[in-house]
Amino acid sequence: MKADLYDSFAESYAAENDSSLLNAYYERPAMIALAGDVEGHRILDAGCGSGPLSAALIAKGAIVTGFDSSAAMLDLARQRLGDSADLWLADLSKPLPFADHSFDDVVSSLVLHYLEDWLSPLAELRRVLKPGGRLILSVNHPTVSVITQPDEDYFAIRQYSEDYEFDGEPAVLTFWHRPLHAMINAFISAGFRLVTVSEPGPSPDTPQELLPPRILNGEKTAFLSFIFFVLGTD
């Protein structure tokens, strides 16, 4: 497999993800809350990165398999999870190395927005889910683009790049923007049923110094960043 984008900033991204408002106190708690009771569930973490969500689900009694297309991210996941998770180098854009109906749940945090085509990956995730299984996922909230890219076409599926700083290191991420209707129609076309859509606030245990001022002063309850979906297979 060729070197993956995340290979070049794996360590700084993982360090940022472990403590940032957006990941540690917003995205991950929201995914854990949506997953609910996972005791004994076989869960696939699609695009597991350095494995923080896998670790949280294992702590709640789940049996976790993870995969990622970045070898460097997967190495960090191995360091974090040891033998407690089954970890694979695999690409969500390609057929996955798992048998049909292997998992009770698939979780996928902040991964699908890297893919131009959603239909084949969603079909693969549906294939590996047991009947009655759930796909729980988060992606960049498409509405953010109306504010941050006012000259671009919200309604188009199009690529865009943004500059980031992870743990003090610069990085450029390239995403695929999709309007909300295109996301939901892709889920439906892949045979999923929409169970829950979530636009959560930050976790109640967020350190005050990380909170945006208008949340801290009670003026707002949440901020626009990611959108979360729970999808059913039947």
Ligand X SMILES: C[S@@+](CC[C@H](N)C(=O)[O-])C[C@H]1O[C@@H](n2cnc3c(N)ncnc32)[C@H](O)[C@@H]1O
Q: Which stretch binds ligand X (CB under 6 A): 35-43, 107-115, 161-169, 216-224?
A: 107-115
List the one residue out of 68, 119, 131 whose CA is nearest residue 96.
68
**Out of 6, 166, 187, 223, which residue is the one contacting ligand X (CB under 6 A)?**
6
- Alpha helices (H) along 49-155: 52-59, 71-81, 119-128, 144-148
Instruction: Identify the helix (H) or strand (E) that includes residue 10.
Output: helix 10-19
Q: Which of residues 69-88 bind ligand X (CB under 6 A)?
A: 69-70, 73
Residue choice 109, 140, 145, 233 for contact with ligand X (CB under 6 A): 109
For residue 163, how many other CB atoms are within 10 A of its CB?
8
Q: Determine if 57 is a binding residue for ligand X (CB under 6 A).
A: no
Residue (41 or 113) nearer to ligand X, CB: 113
Q: Residue 189: which of 131, 122, 127 has the closest Cα?
A: 122
Q: Residue 162 in 3-state DSSP?
A: strand
Q: Which of 92, 95, 66, 63 is nearest to 78 (CA)?
A: 66
Contact status: 65 vs ligand X (CB under 6 A): no
Ramachandran bin of 122, using left for φ above 0, alpha for ψ from -120 to 50, beta for the remaining angles: alpha
> What is the x/- site pattern for ligand X, positions 10-29, by CB under 6 A?
-------x------------
Q: Segment near ligand X (CB under 6 A), from 48-56, 139-147, 159-167, 211-219?
A: 48-56
Contact at 8 Å (CB) between 63 and 9?
no
φ, ψ of residue 118 to 5 degrees: the values are -100, -20
Q: Find the part of the chain contacting ligand X (CB under 6 A) among 56-64, 90-98, 164-172, 212-220.
A: 90-98
Query: Taking CB under 6 A as the rule, does residue 225 contact ligand X?
Result: no
Token reading at 224: 């626009």
Using the 8-state DSSP alphabet, how is residue 36 labeled?
Answer: -
Segment near ligand X (CB under 6 A); pick from 64-72, 97-105, 202-210, 224-232: 64-72
CB of 113 to ligand X, least distance (A): 9
Q: Which of 118, 155 has the CB closer to ligand X? A: 118
* Residue 66 is a binding residue for ligand X (CB under 6 A): no
The residues of the shown chain that bind ligand X, judged by CB under 6 A, are 4, 6, 17, 47-49, 52-53, 68-70, 73, 91-93, 109-111, 114-115
